[in-house]
């Protein structure tokens, strides 16, 4: 049991770290490719990678028609609405604002887990989430800057809510399906949802310079690593760790984002980063150590 919790914690940490780099990549590319088209392209790339991996590894598929509605909900709520609103919110505000607002995700996960999974609201989970959220705020502060900031904030709140709901819904079906299968099916649903919007303005796709190294590298990161790899790891980790604890790992994103800003952009590291990082890591340790 403990070994599964450790493995789940590692997988959730890795996926959250990958998504920390995603904020930077999205901010770079979203000025060239609008959010809906960007999400559609990253899912197309991810689907090719996931299906190819499934075929290469001879993954066994199972299907229960009673779960079709739940799979569609996961694809619409998490893979479509959450990701589109996250990238839209980051585009209209900034990466720091996105990190702060999406730090509400663990709180929403606890509420949804209590409602849908009947998980207990414990002192440990409440204290852990409070510590982690304060840690994020200490790291990045609250810098409400950017064009159309109100729309950006609203989009990011929707992103946090829908991602939390999607993560809890996955736990309702994860016992019946392999994480790879769940990821492929939900990604397919997202592509079907987004395709009509993309086709309506297909000239945007035609205008993209796919020979630009910046465009290619960003799409490969978003499609292969941030979507195909990270989604499978996240979905696997959700099977091994309870919802209240798993949501805390989501907050490793601002740590990675700030470190990348220091390494890549030369942005300074401050004592607030050190203190906030200790609070987030401490909150995860408290939850993993003391939560039943």
**What are residue 117's phi and psi, to 5 degrees?**
-100, -5
**The two three-digit tokens of residue 17, written as one number:** 């770290």
- pLDDT computed for residue 175 by the predictor: 66
Nearest C-alpha neighbor of 44 from the set 79, 16, 89:
79
Domain count, the chain: 1
pTM recorded for the entire structure? 0.80
pLDDT < 70 regions, the chain: 1-2, 94-101, 103, 136, 139-148, 174-176, 244, 261, 264-269, 273, 284, 287-292
- pLDDT computed for residue 111 by the predictor: 79
- pLDDT computed for residue 230 by the predictor: 93
- pLDDT computed for residue 39 by the predictor: 92
- pLDDT computed for residue 1 by the predictor: 59
Would you say 63 and 184 are in contact if contact means Cβ atoms under 8 Å apart? no
What span, in angstroms and rounded, lies between the C-alpha atoms of 21 and 24? Answer: 6
Residue 224's Cβ-count burial label (10 Å; 0-12, 13-18, 19+) is middle
**What are residue 5's phi and psi, to 5 degrees?**
-65, -40
Predicted confidence (pLDDT) per residue in 96-146, tens digit? 666 666 767 777 888 788 888 887 777 777 777 777 777 767 766 655 555
Query: 44 is in which domain, residue-wise?
Result: 2-290
């Amino acid at each position: 049991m403990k070994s599964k919790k450790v493995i789940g914690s590692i997988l959730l940490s890795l996926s959250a770290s990958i998504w920390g780099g995603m904020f930077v990549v999205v901010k770079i590319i979203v000025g060239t490719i609008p959010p809906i088209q960007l999400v559609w392209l990253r899912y197309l790339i991810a689907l090719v990678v996931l299906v190819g991996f499934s075929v290469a590894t001879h993954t066994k598929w199972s299907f229960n028609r009673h779960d079709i509605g739940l799979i569609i909900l996961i694809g619409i709520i998490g893979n479509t609405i959450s990701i589109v609103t996250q990238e839209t919110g980051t585009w209209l505000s900034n990466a720091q604002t996105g990190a702060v607002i999406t730090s509400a995700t663990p709180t929403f996960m606890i509420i949804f887990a209590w409602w849908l999974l009947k998980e207990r609201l414990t002192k440990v989970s409440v204290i852990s989430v409070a510590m982690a959220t304060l840690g994020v705020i200490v790291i990045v502060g609250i810098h409400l800057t950017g064009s159309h900031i109100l729309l950006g904030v609203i989009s990011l709140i929707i992103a946090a809510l829908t991602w939390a709901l999607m993560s809890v819904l996955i736990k309702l079906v994860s016992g019946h399906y392999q994480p790879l299968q769940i990821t492929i099916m939900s990604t397919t649903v997202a592509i079907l949802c987004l395709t009509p919007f993309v086709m309506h303005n297909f000239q945007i796709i035609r205008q993209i310079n796919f020979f630009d190294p910046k465009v290619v590298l960003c799409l490969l990161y978003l499609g292969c690593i941030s979507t195909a790899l990270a989604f499978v790891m996240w979905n696997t980790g959700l099977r091994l760790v309870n919802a209240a604890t798993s949501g805390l790992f989501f907050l490793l994103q601002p740590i990675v984002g700030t470190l990348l800003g220091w390494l890549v952009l030369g942005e300074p590291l401050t004592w607030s980063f050190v203190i906030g990082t200790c609070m987030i890591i401490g909150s995860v340790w408290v939850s993993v150590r003391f939560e039943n």
